[in-house]
Structure 1
Amino acid sequence: MVLVAIRAGRSGTAAMEGVEPGLRSGVQALVFHVLRWLGRAQALRQRLAKRTPPAQADSLLCTALALAWREEGAPYDAFTLVDQAVEAAKRHPDTRQQANFINACL
């Protein structure tokens, strides 16, 4: 996950290396949007959860919160962001156990 790598100290360019070339521009646009609103997303997550979830789940949750927090500025409808965040959590072994938590927070 790109946000996990960036939070771990990698540059955005280095974090994007694993993204397929055909998806890179779209992923980059979403990452820039998330980074702009990451502080707000982290503050929202702190209000929603008493403890910080594992890094992968936290990054996925904060990504969804950053993309959805302002309905008029969101790149997708809120229900789409929630659905896709939960589906992404279910598909990745590092976040599978956190899928219900992510759904509850969103």
Structure 2
Amino acid sequence: MEKLPVPDLEDTLVELFNWASPFITAEESKELSRSLEEFSEGTGRVLQERLLKHQQNSSGSWLASFWQDSYLSGRGPVQSESNFALVPSLSSYQHIT
């Protein structure tokens, strides 16, 4: 079985922009576009290269270790610990003992 491909960085950023566009203003859209362009030319390229190396060095799916670490190893509230769009502060958990 072939390894799961790493999505192309540019395709991913286009998807992100298209996903966010209905929820943001025209000014926010311009800022997001600038931020995504800056990311794609700098940090994004570095991270994409690291991800491709990780894929090459993985014996199975390159995504498996991230899935294990991000979703399966946590023992806290699933909704807030597995939803990366929602990052509550630690004080939100004070009522849980």
Shorter-chain TM range is 0.3 to 0.5
**Larger-Rg structure:** 2
TM-score (norm 1): 0.31
Structure with bigger helix share is 1
